[in-house]
Amino acid sequence: MRVAIRCRSCADGRIATVLLAGLVIAMSAVAGRPPLRDGPVVWYEDDRRPIPVPDQYDPLPISSEIRATVSRPIGRALDPVRWLTGADGPAWNPNALGEVPGSTWFTNRMGLRRLTAEELATGPGREGPSRDGPWEIIGAKQGGVTMGFRIRDAAGQVWLLKFDPPEHPGQSIRAGVVSNLILHACGYNTPVDRVVVFDRDQLSLGVDASLRTVRGTGEVRLTEANLDSVLQATDSVFDGRYHALASRFLDGIPLGPIRHQGTRPDDPNDHVPHEHRREWRGLRVICAWIGHNDTKIQNTLAMYEGEPGAGHVAHYLLDFASSLGTSGAETFAKFNFEYGVDLPASLGRLATLGLRRDVWQTMPWPTHLDEVAHFHSLHFDPRSWSPIYPNSAFANLTTEDGYWAAKIVSAFTDRDLRIMVEQGRYQDPRAVDWLVEHLGRRRDIIARTWFDEVAPLDFWTWDGAALSGHDLGLERGLYPVEETRYRARARLVDERREGGAWSDWRALEGPVWSPDRAFDRTAGRFLAVQFQVDRGRGWQDPITVYVGPRSGRVVAVDR
Amino acid sequence: MRSALLAITLCVTLLAVSAATPVDSLRSHWGPLPAPSDSTRAIPTAPPTPAWKHLVRVPYYVAAVPLTAVDWTARGLIAEAEEAGLFRPSSFLVQGIRDPLGNFWLPTGSLSDDRGLEVGVVAQRPHFPGDYWVTRVSATTSTREAHALTGGMRSRFGDDTWFEVGTGTVREDNVDFHGLGWDSAEEDLSEYRRDIDWIGSSWRQDWTGLATTTLAVMHSTVEALDGDADDDVGELRQVHADLLPPGFASASSGVTAAAKLELDSTTRDGNPADGSRLVLRAERFWSTDDSGAESWTWGGSAEHFLELWWPQRTLAIKAWWLRQEATGSAPIPFTRQLDNGDPHRLRGFGSDRFRATGTTGLTVEYRWPFWILNEPGGAGVDAYLFGDVGQFFDDVSEIRAERLLTSGGLGLRAIGTDGGFVLRTELAVGREGVELRLSGQQMFQFIKAGFYAGSDPLPFVR
């Protein structure tokens, strides 16, 4: 009996040992980066191939909010890989340099080049509805919490005319325009949103214009009398003229909101699960910057652009009324600090028995500025920033995604910000000053947050004799020059990044490295140069830049 | 010619590029960007995933199957409910279903320790029998065999006056009884059947928003009978055979006149941060049967709300005293005596745990925000710690410090978007155990539903 037990123990032990060894081997297998490719860097995503018009996607709002707030966070919380790594792996779509290729989702703008003042002020379009004739009201605005109409201008273009709620005239329409311009400058697709100023006689009633009743149970014909009462109720009158946000209807066939997770099954061009798109993950950082918290899927829109059968799907962000401290109909300090339903925050309040106050309840909000509400840089922490609803893409944000977004955010100068904020046509100049000042401070906080984690040595070029980069931390005024040191080392590697021993570290004056002897491109091996920077707090993790032997160009950057 | 061709080719290329490319410019910090071509355009693919991730996730996927099934089912139900419009303000859950005759039919449900899960249906008819009237009929049944049929009408005169009439009949097959007085024992639990019928009317007048008076008159009959001995709990007649309570196995009929004065300086209904509320009550009962029972019930309660160190950190204090005195030739039937029901309740003990002719107590709640929908003081959920101390008695001399019952616990209170109280759930610990309770009534700012709503009016002065 004893023997049998011992033998069984031996067998169990062997099985356990084998399983353990397998697990160790499996665990030790690190994620390999894609092999180096000595060819052109991919700058475009191949997602504009002609497809048939996909079906309309019309998710139920409450169901999708519950799913975003309950089901998916629970799923993420139970995922053991997230326990171990804190994320769901790297984004799928960056190119070898860590940039996001242009696509129907994203166009590289401020991240890769300086935009002119004209481009910043124009965004997706400078002109509002044509004033060559009256604006014909063709119906009431549907959905959302603010009042508005659908109008057709003299050019036949349809616009959404949105007013501020009477409690906060001039807040969300201005914030909506400014945030639209910022997101567009960052690279996202947005509709043309402009603040328009008009008189009552600019509006005319369409034949079939109707209003939905308060309870949403029916529609009533819009008359001059109730148009007047609606306009009066908006209170969006400044110096005797109405102020509103005019949002141009997008061209094409609307296909409904964009999922924050997964792909659109009937779009063959939609190859990357949206939660794995770097620009969708990095959007979290940009939304944190401008306090755009209403990022539910209903504020996105997929459009079929082109002739049916010959077009493709393009992806837009919509409705930025809940940004820069405003919250649509009403303004609430809580938003941007907590999710709408935030269990950890609530449990924290429960555990502290109310002895601790939430940060957002103690903020010195600019109460003297009617047009700004709850926008401040004090206690701003982009890592803990929360939209109203969680989403899978934001939850997947990695350090590399954050760095990519921080690089874009930090590219805006104070002057750039002022140009865009002025497009909000704020009535109080102090509101403009406040927003520019605190957008600038929040920008710097974002940049330092991720530049402290990823050395911001970027935009590398090889001219045959030297490898030159930019220290974005210095160029964007985030770190003191006198405390910054650089060093580099090099070696030749194959496409799997394997090679001989590294050279000794060599101190550099700046992010510019020259080889001791000429790079032998005939050997067919890549030149790998590792750079480090020290801001007075020790060397940051290195970044490695690779130069291709055949192309003689920078072909990859590992961060 | 060659340069012209080159120029045309370049123009065509640039036009093609500008049409196909999403970039605004080919300039970049990386140097000139290449034009879209087969070599610069690609379909992204998933990066290599380490093998260990697959391995680690296997048990997760297996364990997640039931969770996924629950999630899938719940989402399906929610989606169906949303599709059916149940979440809209115009939903039938809020407004009711309107029939062709103009009545609104509404499902109801509640959960309580004395009746268990109660479900029913309410029919309301606005503007009936007159413009300012509303009429209501309800029928309910519960898991503890409590069945009720009630009807009522309410009218509003001006902004400050309400008039209600109502009638109802309730049959409860399993009502708990532990004995009478402060020293009733938990282990003496028994059950009996109680039938109540009533008809009555009330007049409520709001005076300048600070004071409200209510006058009521009603006729009621309550009968305590043997229950159906089909469970483990003993019958009252058996368990308390040596001392059957007055009024058992007989019906008590009579007329009640009641008056109530409320003085209220609180500024919010659900979670006031300041102000006080004083309620004084008196009730006179004359029997119309041949028992000769007559009694007075009188008392009151005082509540005060105090904001502590931060906004929405509120201390709520309430003290109460209720007393019944028999003035006729017969004792007060036990079915008309005071019980441990809301709002003067010692939490941690059941609603029918005590019956006596007097109750006094003090309750303290410390409230603070748990979940805030939008802003403090608005809709959300408050957490609270509470402590209750009090005693039931039949004679004032019975009140002793060592006989006081104490309990304490933790709860959550939901506040609606209109600032009113919605629901509370609490865990109370008393000497007889732990009680988990879900209630649509609050201990403070309690407003008893009137004849219109069809609530049991015994005693009316709660």
**Chain A residue at shortest CA distance from B50:** A31
| Shared-domain flag, residues A358 and A474 | no
Domains and CATH numbers, chain B: 25-82 (no CATH), 92-439 (2.40.160.50)
Q: Does A20 map to a domain?
A: yes
Q: At A530, is the secondary structure helix, strand, or coil? A: strand
| Shared-domain flag, residues A223 and A108 | no
The answer to whether B66 faces chain A, any CB pair under 8 Å, is no
pLDDT of residue B165: 94
| Shared-domain flag, residues A364 and A215 | no
Q: Do B22 and A103 touch (CB under 8 A)?
A: yes
The answer to whether B98 faces chain A, any CB pair under 8 Å, is no
Mean pLDDT calculated for residue range A426-454: 97
Could you say which of A451, A480, A499 is where a domain stops? Answer: A451
Count of Cβ atoms closer than 10 Å to residue B39 Cβ? 12
CATH classification at residue A471: 2.60.40
Which residues of chain B are within 8 Å of residue A28 when distances are taken between CB atoms?
52
Q: Do B75 and A353 touch (CB under 8 A)?
A: no
- % of chain A at pLDDT higher than 90: 69
Q: Do A353 and B34 touch (CB under 8 A)?
A: no
Distance of CA A201 to the CA centre of its chain: 40
pLDDT of residue A476: 95
| Shared-domain flag, residues A144 and A240 | yes
Q: Do A79 and B57 touch (CB under 8 A)?
A: yes
**In angstroms, rounded to a whole number, what is the distance separating the alpha carbons of residues A476 and A471?**
8
Which residues of chain B are within 8 Å of residue A112 when distances are taken between CB atoms?
28-30, 33
Q: Which residue(s) pair with A245 in the sheet? A: A162, A195
**Chain B residue at shortest CA distance from A311:** B20
| Shared-domain flag, residues A270 and A370 | yes
CA distance B225 to chain A (A): 47
Q: Does A54 map to a domain?
A: no
Better-predicted residue by pLDDT, A366 or B25: A366
Going by pLDDT thresholds of 50, 70 and 90, the confidence category of residue A30 is very low
pLDDT of residue B24: 52
A50-80 core/surface letters (b: 16 or more CB in 10 A; e: else) = ebebbeebebbeebbbbbbbbbbbebbeebe
Mean pLDDT calculated for residue range A460-485: 94
Residue in B47, B313, B373 closest to A354 by CB: B313
**In angstroms, rounded to a whole number, what is the distance separating the alpha carbons of residues A554 and A458?**
11
| Shared-domain flag, residues A499 and A435 | no
Q: Does A43 map to a domain?
A: no
Q: Which of residues 140-179 of B touch A (CB under 8 A)?
A: none
**In angstroms, rounded to a whole number, what is the distance separating the alpha carbons of residues A349 and A395?**
23
Q: Which among B258, B243, B251, B409 has a CA at the least distance from the CA of B322?
A: B258
The pLDDT of residue A515 is above 80: yes
CA distance A358 to chain B (A): 10
Could you say which of A255, A271, A292 is where a domain stops? Answer: A255
β-strand B251-264 against B211-225: which pairing, if any? antiparallel
* 3 state SS for A66-134: HHHHHHHHHHHHHCHHHHHHCCCCCCCCCCCCCCCCECCCECCCCCCCCCCHHHHHHCCCCCCCCCCCC
**In angstroms, rounded to a whole number, what is the distance separating the alpha carbons of residues B198 and A474?**
84
Count of Cβ atoms closer than 10 Å to residue A496 Cβ? 10
Question: Are A38 and A549 in contact, with CB atoms under 8 Å apart?
Answer: yes
**DSSP characters over A26-77:** HHH-PPPPPPP--SPPP-EE-----BPPPPP----HHHHHHIIIIIHHHHHH
Q: Do B64 and A78 touch (CB under 8 A)?
A: yes
pLDDT of residue B137: 95
| Shared-domain flag, residues A398 and A314 | yes
| Shared-domain flag, residues A323 and A423 | yes
**Chain A residue at shortest CA distance from B67:** A75
Question: Are B295 and B328 in contact, with CB atoms under 8 Å apart?
Answer: yes
Query: Which of A65, A110, A112 best probes binding to B when mutated, by most B CB atoms within 10 angstroms?
Result: A112
pLDDT truncated to tens, each residue of chain B (462 aa)?
A: 444 444 444 444 434 433 344 445 578 999 988 888 888 999 998 888 888 888 888 888 888 888 889 888 988 898 888 888 777 766 666 777 888 888 899 888 887 777 888 899 999 998 888 888 999 999 999 998 899 999 999 998 888 899 999 999 999 998 999 999 999 999 999 999 999 999 999 999 998 777 999 999 999 999 999 887 667 888 899 999 999 999 999 999 999 999 999 999 998 888 898 999 999 999 999 999 988 999 999 999 999 999 998 888 999 999 999 999 999 899 999 999 999 988 889 999 988 999 999 999 999 999 999 998 888 778 899 999 999 999 999 999 999 999 999 999 999 999 988 888 888 999 999 999 998 888 888 889 887 778 888 887 787 766
Residue in A102, A357, A461 closest to B31 by CB: A461
Please tell me the total number of residues recorded for chain A in this structure.
559
CA distance A107 to chain B (A): 5
Residue in B51, B90, B312 closest to A26 by CB: B51
| Shared-domain flag, residues A349 and A441 | yes
Better-predicted residue by pLDDT, A403 or A370: A403
* Residue A318: exposure state from Cβ atoms within 10 A (0-12, 13-18, ≥19): buried
Question: Are A458 and A511 in contact, with CB atoms under 8 Å apart?
Answer: no
| Shared-domain flag, residues A88 and A130 | no
Q: Does A51 map to a domain?
A: no
Q: What are the two backbone dihedrals, phi and then psi, of residue B137, each rounded to the nearest 5 degrees?
A: -135, 135
The answer to whether B46 faces chain A, any CB pair under 8 Å, is yes
The segment with the largest mean pLDDT, out of A29-38, A503-512, B59-68, is A503-512
pLDDT of residue B217: 95
**In angstroms, rounded to a whole number, what is the distance separating the alpha carbons of residues B414 and B411?**
10
Q: Do A108 and B56 touch (CB under 8 A)?
A: no
Q: Which of residues 384-403 of B touch A (CB under 8 A)?
A: 385
The answer to whether B72 faces chain A, any CB pair under 8 Å, is no
Q: Does A371 map to a domain?
A: yes
Q: Does A200 map to a domain?
A: yes
Mean pLDDT calculated for residue range A162-172: 86
Q: In this structure, is the dihedral angle defined by the CA atoms of residues A492, A493, A494 and A498, taken in order, positive or negative?
A: positive
Which residues of chain B are within 8 Å of residue A98 when distances are taken between CB atoms?
none
| Shared-domain flag, residues A106 and A140 | no
**Chain A residue at shortest CA distance from B19:** A48
Going by pLDDT thresholds of 50, 70 and 90, the confidence category of residue A245 is very high
**What count of Cα atoms within 13 Å lies in the side-chain half-sphere of residue B14?**
9
Q: Does A505 map to a domain?
A: yes
Count of Cβ atoms closer than 10 Å to residue A378 Cβ? 11
Query: Which of B38, B43, B313 best probes binding to A when mutated, by most A CB atoms within 10 angstroms?
Result: B43
Q: Do A32 and B48 touch (CB under 8 A)?
A: yes
Going by pLDDT thresholds of 50, 70 and 90, the confidence category of residue A423 is very high
Residue in A42, A354, A470 closest to B42 by CB: A42
Could you say which of A207, A234, A255 is where a domain stops? Answer: A255
Query: For B289-292, which contacts have Cβ atoms below 8 Å and span 24 or more sequence positions?
Result: B289/B251, B289/B252, B289/B253, B289/B254, B291/B250, B291/B252, B291/B328, B291/B330, B291/B333, B292/B328, B292/B329, B292/B330
The answer to whether B65 faces chain A, any CB pair under 8 Å, is no
Going by pLDDT thresholds of 50, 70 and 90, the confidence category of residue A13 is low
How many domains does the structure of chain A reveal? 4
Q: At B449, is the secondary structure helix, strand, or coil? A: coil
Interface pTM, i.e. ipTM: 0.85
Going by pLDDT thresholds of 50, 70 and 90, the confidence category of residue A125 is very high
Mean pLDDT calculated for residue range A22-38: 63
Give the orientation angle of helix A399-409 with respect to helix A429-451, to 10 degrees: 140
Residue in A41, A79, A334 closest to B372 by CB: A334
Q: In angstroms, how far is the first alpha carbon of chain A from the final one?
A: 60
- Contact pairs from chain A to chain B, CB under 8 Å: 184
**In angstroms, rounded to a whole number, what is the distance separating the alpha carbons of residues B235 and B193?**
9
Domain that holds residue A548: 457-558
pLDDT of residue A271: 93
β-strand B234-235 against A241-248: which pairing, if any? unpaired
Could you report the per-residue pLDDT of A201-226, keeping only the tens digit for each?
Answer: 999 988 877 776 555 556 777 888 87
Which residues of chain B are within 8 Å of residue A470 when distances are taken between CB atoms?
29
pLDDT of residue B440: 82
Q: Where are the alpha helices (DSSP H) in A275-424?
A: 278-290, 343-351, 392-395, 399-409, 414-422
What the block records as the tokens of B328 is 């006729």
Q: Does A312 map to a domain?
A: yes
| Shared-domain flag, residues A299 and A268 | yes
Q: Do B67 and A340 touch (CB under 8 A)?
A: no
